[in-house]
Structure 1
């Protein structure tokens, strides 16, 4: 868990199970299995192709040809059309700013601020001050910055997570603190205030062969109280809680080198609804 954020610090996935070719109890291999499976695959591809052609031929006609219930209830091409405001184009100190004064804008602001406040950059004093001044409302920014400076300079805290006293990782190791929003929800909204919940997963730890604090995954929901100030949304307060936490899959953990390479090569996103 990263202390920065505040870290103060549709549809279900369908899983397919491939059965073994041979009898799990030692029986002989069933004849003709591969040929029948190939036939099913071919038929499936043909069906999908026919469906795709039919969909394409339907074009952009959004008007039903009949008023009967069966025709009127059919999905239209506009059902899956992209909606929502475009992602913000402006940045302040590397953080996306300039959000729309609506529910979508508030959700985008909360998601992006969550990413910034949970980043490894919060462990650098100068960068932390820039993030705090950009994200927080002026009325609370100074107090918040002071509290965060105290937290991030605590030698015991830094030692527990394996960082040096200046907040840097030991030689040969990479510090990882990254927030990945999964979803957002507006629970209250007016023209000047918004309450937005951000559900996200957090990667936190040290990647390296000698690391005693490997990168782990955690899940949180942070509720942000936002205010419309100077033509943008700003954080006035927040509360964080654990979860919801999904059931982990039986996957082999990556090596330290693979984790370091992934963190260095894969950048983050600007989140917008």
Structure 2
């Protein structure tokens, strides 16, 4: 409401004179009887309509035969979980014991993508433990050698880490992978090829960091083999994208990023 509305200014074309002690509009005393009656009728009518509307709504909510309510029921989405149950066991902090099914293979691939993109991959001892857990025994050793050639002391230093892959004092190293979706492209009795679309965070959070935390989008393709009662990675590869258009989100401070990494834990993925 504008100031003019609050002060009761007269409508255009009308002239009213304010007289001391009289009607502020300067006219004869206003007849209020008819107006009050009309107002009362209006109020009663509104109340009756409200009561009727509430009664109708309650009747609709309680009626099992309400077709409108049935039609409005939510339908399952394409990304809804479809597995029998999530895994409840871990080996070295990594989920294990996946179902011997296509869904189990997708769940294993999603969880293994998280492990491959974790900060623990930058340290030799924890990296070897991860690979021993998620790789097939036939390819664990060769995978360790390949990763040693990738995660070199020089590479760690280029990210602002120490040569052994740890963060300097006063800094928090961030390396996280979040699966967005999975797709099985080939499934056999004891083999499966699964693609995992991921979003990743990588960088060093700190006041004077020259490598701030950034995000990226990539897809990991894993060839899985059913080995010793669980899905294991036989080989894997990675490619960029698909990447969405960047949004307008304001970048958080280094302190906010450090707290987020420390306070928010990861998930166990099951499809």
TM-score (norm 2): 0.73
Deviations 1:72-100 (A, max 9, x none): x9576785797422110111111000000
RMSD of the alignment, in Å? 3.0
Within the alignment, does 1:195 sit opposite 2:188 as a pair? no
Asked if 1 retains the 8 angstrom alpha-carbon contact of 2:154 and 2:163, the reply is no
User: Which residue, out of 238, 262, 265, partners 1:264?
Assistant: 262
Are the structure 2 counterparts of residues 76 and 262 from structure 1 closer, same or farther at C-alpha, using a change threshold of 3 Å? closer
Distance 1:122 1:96 in 2: 16
Alignment of 1:87-106 (within 5 A): 87-106=86-105
Q: CA–CA distance in 1 between the matches of 2:173 and 2:58?
A: 46
Structure 2 Cα separation of the partners of residues 231 and 75 of structure 1: 43
- Whether contact under 8 Å (2:199, 2:216) holds in the other structure is yes
- Paired with 2:230 and 2:243, the residues of 1 have a C-alpha distance of 32
- Deviations for 1:191-231, whole angstroms, at most 9, x for unmatched residues? 11001010010000000101000000000011110000111
Q: 2:234 is matched with which residue: 230, 233, 236? A: 236
Give the secondary-structure state (helix, strand or coil) at the position aligned to 1:267. Answer: coil
- Is the CA contact 2:191–2:224 (under 8 Å) kept in the aligned structure 1? yes
The 8 Å contact of residues 81 and 270 in structure 2, kept in 1 or not, is answered as: no
8 Å CA contact 2:131, 2:144 repeated in 1: yes
| Structure 1: distance between partners of 2:172 and 2:58 | 46
Shift in Å, 1:56: 7.0
Larger radius of gyration: 2
* Distance in 1 of aligned mates of 2:199 and 2:86: 21
Question: Cα 1:101–1:212, aligned 2, differ >3 Å: closer, same or farther?
Answer: same
Shift of 1:104: 0.8
Structure 1 residues 230, 55: CA separation in 2 closer, same or farther (over 3 Å shift)? farther
Q: How does 1:163-178 map to 2 (within 5 A)?
A: 163-178=161-176
2: CA distance between counterparts of 1:76 and 1:263? 38
Q: Deviations along 1:112-134, whole A, 9 cap, x unmatched? A: 00000110011222211111001
Q: How far apart are the structure 2 equivalents of 1:116 and 1:94? A: 9
Q: How far does residue 57 in structure 1 lie from its aligned partner after superposition?
A: 4.8
Aligned to 1:210, the other structure's residue is in SS state: coil
Q: Compute the displacement of 1:136 (Å).
A: 0.3
Cα distance in 2, alignment partners of residues 147 and 203 from structure 1: 22
CA shift in 2, pair 1:90/1:214, >3 Å? same
Q: Which is bigger in relative contact order (C-alpha 8 A, separation at least 6)?
A: 1
**Consecutive aligned runs of 4 or more in structure 1 exceeding 3 Å deviation:** 50-58, 73-83
Distance 1:166 1:74 in 2: 59
1:94-173 equivalent positions in 2, closer than 5 A:
94-152=93-151, 154-173=152-171
* C-alpha spacing 1:100/1:159, structure 2 compared with 1 (3 Å): same
For residues 112 and 51 of structure 1, the distance between their equivalents in structure 2, rounded to whole angstroms, comes to: 46
Paired residue secondary structure (1:218): strand
Pairwise mapping of residues 201-216 of structure 1 onto structure 2 (< 5 A)? 201-216=199-214
Structure 2: which 5+ residue stretches go unaligned?
A: 6-52
Q: How many equivalent pairs are there?
A: 218
The answer for the alignment partner of 1:3 in structure 2 is none
In structure 2, what is the Cα distance between the partners aligned to 1:121 and 1:112? 14
SS where residue 166 of structure 2 aligns? Answer: coil
